[in-house]
Structure 1
Amino acid sequence: MTIRVLIVEDDKEIRSLIRASLTVEGFVVQTAASVSEAAAMLHHALPDVLLLDLGLPDGDGEQLVKLVRTQHNLPILIISARHQEKQKIRLLDTGADDFLTKPFSIPELLARIRVALRHRGTRLMAATTTFSQRELHVDLAKRLVSLRGQVLHLTPTEFNLLARLVRSAGYLVTHRQLLSDVWGPDYVEHTHYLRLYMAQLRAKIEDNPAEPRYLLTETGVGYRLAMEEDA
């Protein structure tokens, strides 16, 4: 089951970190940087989980909690640097499911998301976070990729692309799926991004990028990370 998460956070670095971390775990992630942007996205398509900062440029996230709770029952997790007990209690009484104080760890955030979903009857299967075939080894949790025992240095986008393929190792992932999951839903037509970064990945991973053993092309459809039986 694919879980869709909306992150409402105006700090670009925090937003990018959470998005990248959740994407590696198999979540489909969208982001917003303001109350108005989040409200518009919620009106267009409802996520399964809402991660919400409080101090936003055009208002307080508490407004969004009240708005969502008048219409929907999705889990709302507050992520904020504020730590006043009275405010936490008010937000929880208003309808938030949980409150994480910044700074927090990604494993704790993931655990809180799992608990919130479980309370609504959704149990998450553990995401595939490792891949080991022939000389290539990938550990997504440690953000470690090695070939013949040598650590490979990937750019963040190269790593996110490889991570998406690892989660579906052995199976075809379409161009649109990859573009949406790695770059975002606004980029599903930008296939030149995918060709460029796939070429860069192959140059680092494959002995002969023209005849890849790991990153296989399904012509006109997408890509597949090869398993041993593909050899």
Structure 2
Amino acid sequence: MSTILIIEDDGAIHSLIKEALTIQGFQTVSAYSGTEGQLLFEQNQVDIILLDLMLPGMDGEELLREIRNHSAIPVIVISAKNDQASKLELLMNGADDYVTKPFDIKELIARINIQLRHAAKAVHSELEEISYKDIRVNLDTREVKVNDEIIHLTGREYAILLLFLENPQKVFSRANIYESVWNEPFFDSDQTINMHISNLRRKMNVQGANYIKTIWGIGFKFD
């Protein structure tokens, strides 16, 4: 049974999410401020985090940075900010998904299940490690090393990296990547994939390494 940390200071929204998740068989941990959320994250073994941005004490963006300094646990941001710039900025800073208020609770649960499937796929892999050139990925701990230097990836970035490592030299279109990682039909703009690829390239650029090649007019391949 998966455990979900809900960090949301609005009591009505918090109760709605908690009740819906409980009905679906999830266990929940509740925090109503950023500081409390950080404490409960450190004290509990949780599988995914639902994170509001406008929180008392430590705000959601600061908390997201703190979480990403220590963990690649999936984080879904829930926010009233609905502009594209805010969404892209949060994704670039480590969020795995973004849900805008007001939201459909069924859609939120579907997105939670997608993130949990991604995490479970890596955990339950028969292999303990995937390596390619100077890259090593521990599938148990989700630790990623490039030239023996640990790099910290979001859940989406990690899933994209595994897709490339399992299919070196294969050319993937943006739609291929989206449908393989998001597990849903490609309906988003190319900008989403471009942003995740850009972040992954930047983080893996250890000692000038460049593993992800752009195939103009088609997509990307790992080399």
Q: TM-score, normalised by structure 2?
A: 0.53
Distance 1:42 1:121 in 2: 19
Q: Deviations over 1:52-90 (max 9, x none)?
A: 000011132011111111111111000111112111111
Taking only the aligned residue pairs, the percentage that are identical comes to 43
2: CA distance, partners of 1:59 / 1:71: 17
Q: Deviations over 1:180-230 (max 9, x none)?
A: xxxxxxxxxxxxxxxxxxxxxxxxxxxxxxxxxxxxxxxxxxxxxxxxxxx
CA distance in 1, matches of 2:59, 2:90: 12
Aligned position for 1:68:
67
Instruction: Tell me the equivalent position of 1:91.
Output: 90
1:159-178 to 2 correspondences below 5 Å = none
Counterpart for residue 112 of structure 1: 111
2:207 corresponds to: none
Query: Runs of 4+ in structure 1 displaced over 3 angstroms?
Result: none
Q: Distance between the aligned counterparts of 1:27 and 1:118, measured in 2?
A: 14
Structure 1 Cα separation of the partners of residues 114 and 48 of structure 2: 11
Distance in 2 between residues matched to 1:122 and 1:113, nearest whole Å = 14
Deviation at 1:116, TM superposition (A): 1.1
Q: In structure 1, what is the equivalent of residue 168 of structure 2?
A: none
Counterparts of 1:122 and 1:16, CA distance in 2: 30
For structure 1, the residue ranges without an aligned partner over 5 or more in a row are 124-231
Residue 122 of structure 1 deviates from its aligned partner by 4.9
Match status 1:31 vs 2:25: no
CA distance in 1, matches of 2:56, 2:10: 10
Structure 2: 5+ residue stretches without partners: 123-223
- 1:120-139 equivalence runs, <5 A: 120-122=119-121
Change (3 A) 1:59 1:11: same
Corresponding residue of 1:48:
47
Q: What secondary structure is seen at the aligned counterpart in 2 of 1:77? A: strand
The amino acid that maps onto 1:14 is I
User: Which residue identity lines up with residue 74 of structure 1 in the other structure?
Assistant: I
**Aligned letter for 2:9?**
D
Larger Rg computed on CA atoms:
1
Shift of 1:5: 0.3
User: Which secondary structure does the structure 2 equivalent of 1:110 belong to?
Assistant: helix
Q: Which residue of 2 aligns with 1:137?
A: none
Is the counterpart of residue 15 in structure 1 residue 2 in structure 2?
A: no
Taking a change above 3 Å as real, the CA distance of residues 17 and 122 of structure 1, as seen in their structure-2 partners, is farther
Q: What residue is the counterpart of 2:162 in the other structure?
A: none
The DSSP-based 3-state class of the residue aligned with 2:120 is coil
Q: For residue 121 of structure 1, give the secondary structure of its aligned residue in structure 2.
A: helix
Structure 1 position 117, deviation (Å): 1.4
Question: What does 1:192-231 correspond to in 2, within 5 Å?
Answer: none
Query: Take 1:102 and 1:36, find their aligned partners in 2: how far apart are those partners?
Result: 22
Offset at residue 17 of structure 1 (A): 0.7
Aligned-partner SS, 1:120: helix
CA distance in 1, matches of 2:36, 2:17: 18
Describe the superposition over 1:149-171 as per-residue Cα deviations: whole angstroms up to 9, x where unpaired: xxxxxxxxxxxxxxxxxxxxxxx
The CA deviation at 1:19 is 0.3
2:57 aligns with: 58
Distance 1:116 1:30 in 2: 18
Letter in 2 for 1:99: Y
